[in-house]
Amino acid sequence: MTTNIVIPQLNPKQKTAKDAIVSILSQEWPLSAKEIHNRARRQLSLNVSYQAVHKTIKQFEKEGIISKVGREYELNRSWISNTKKSFTNLEKLYNKDEMVYEIDRNFRGTIKWQFNDYAVMIVTFAEILSSNTLVGDSAPMAIGWLRHLYWPLRFNFKDFELLQRIGKNCKNAYVIASSASLFDKWVQKQYLKAGFKGVKIGIGEELFDYDLIVHGDSVIKFNASQRTKQILDEIYNRNKNITDLFREVYFRDALKAPMHFEVTITRDPSMAKFLKRQLMKYFRSE
């Protein structure tokens, strides 16, 4: 049996008997000790004795890296599985956008998160808002001041159900956007369909140099880099509906450009109350 699995070596130019055995058995198995030794010499040009290969095979068998099948050997399936899990966990540590973002309902003080993916950030906070995790002792009301109305650019139709849950669970959900791009106008309609009480766009003012959402007792600040703001401005101005956005994302690779967001979540009932009162002034004339 053969396959194209490649096991990474720390130094592929200087293979040891250990490297050679794992590399050989990752591509062909089961093999006898003699066959492994022959391939190490012939295919990998490794100058190693049969005794050294046999000794390493026995060590690997004892450590659970190799299993014996009759008189032949193959990589241990459990070892392969555990190795895969280790590399998956390592990948998640290096890719912070795959971290699990969770908040204790009773948290106090401030939480800071970093995001490099706009869609991940939006869906994460949509789930948090729909669960009322940040409400505390206040009413489940949410109001936001944004540069553009949030919409996960890599859209999944389940995300609209999430939007509806925000409108339903928050009871009173309002949002204000300083911009009124073509795409903001389309998103505005989706928010209202989902049950938001009020959605205003094109305010033209810049109350803050960051996006802000107040939910219950908590204040969430979204700080984006200037380059990120520029990228989003271009995307929102260039597209007018979900069809255009699909072309943007899947054919123009619009999301390949790096983005960066720093999000700060603070449990501060008095500040939350003050900000809600100030932002609701935009709706009281209606």
**Which pLDDT belongs to residue 78?**
78
Please state the pTM of the whole predicted model: 0.62
pLDDT at position 5 over 80: no
Residue 57 confidence (pLDDT): 93
- pLDDT band at 2; cut points 50, 70, 90: very low
Asked if residue 209 belongs to a domain, the reply is yes
What mean pLDDT is predicted for residues 233-259?
Answer: 74
Give yes or no for residue 181 having a pLDDT over 70. Answer: yes
| Distance separating alpha carbons of residues 108 and 248, to the nearest angstrom | 40
Residue 38 lies in a domain: yes
Q: What is the mean pLDDT of the chain?
A: 81
pLDDT band at 15 (very low <50, low <70, confident <90, very high): low
Position 9 in a domain: no
Question: 32 lies in which domain range?
Answer: 17-94
Same domain, 272 and 241: yes
Q: Specify the number of domains making up the chain.
A: 2
Assigned token pair, 179: 């911009």
What is the per-residue pLDDT for 92?
54
Question: For residue 145, what pLDDT is reported?
Answer: 95
Q: Are 67 and 162 within one domain?
A: no
Same domain, 242 and 255: yes
Question: Is the pLDDT reported for residue 159 higher than 70?
Answer: no
Q: What does the pLDDT read at residue 80?
A: 79
Asked whether residue 112 is assigned to any structural domain, the reply reads yes
> Is residue 211 included in any domain, yes or no?
yes
Please report the pLDDT score of residue 10 as a whole number.
39
Q: Are residues 194 and 182 in the same domain?
A: yes
Average pLDDT, integer, range 1-30: 65
CATH number, domain with residue 228: 3.30.870
Q: Are residues 116 and 232 in the same domain?
A: yes
Same domain, 121 and 88: no
38-47 in b/e form (b: 16+ CB < 10 A) is ebbbeeeebe
Residue 35, pLDDT score: 94
> Could you report the per-residue pLDDT of 107-129, keeping only the tens digit for each?
788 889 988 888 888 888 888 88
Average of per-residue pLDDT across 184-204:
89
- Give dist(CA 219, CA 212) in Å, integer: 7
Q: Is residue 55 part of a domain?
A: yes
Confirm whether 12 is domain-assigned.
no
Q: Does any domain span residue 2? A: no
Q: What is the pLDDT of residue 3?
A: 37
Final residue in a domain of this structure, among 94, 113, 132: 94
Q: Is the pLDDT of residue 274 over 50?
A: yes
232 and 106 together in one domain:
yes
Tell me which residue of 10, 8, 32, 22 sits closest to 76, measured CA to CA: 22
Confidence of residue 36 (pLDDT cuts 50, 70, 90): very high
Residue identified by tokens 């030794």 is: 37
57 and 24 in a single domain? The answer is yes
Check whether residue 176 and residue 278 sit in a common domain: yes
pLDDT at 88: 55
pLDDT of residue 7: 42
Kindly state whether residues 68 and 165 are assigned to the same domain: no
pLDDT at site 91: 54
CA distance 99 to 84: 18
The owner of tokens 């789930």 is 127
Q: pLDDT band at residue 12, thresholds of 50, 70 and 90?
A: very low
* Statement to judge: residues 31 and 88 lie in one domain: yes
Across 14-18, 100-104, 132-136, 156-160, which has the greatest mean pLDDT? 132-136
Q: Has residue 264 got a pLDDT over 90?
A: yes
Rounded Cα gap, residues 211 and 18, in angstroms: 54
Residues 111 and 176 in one domain: yes
Contacts of residue 273, Cβ cutoff 8 Å, sequence gap at least 6? 138
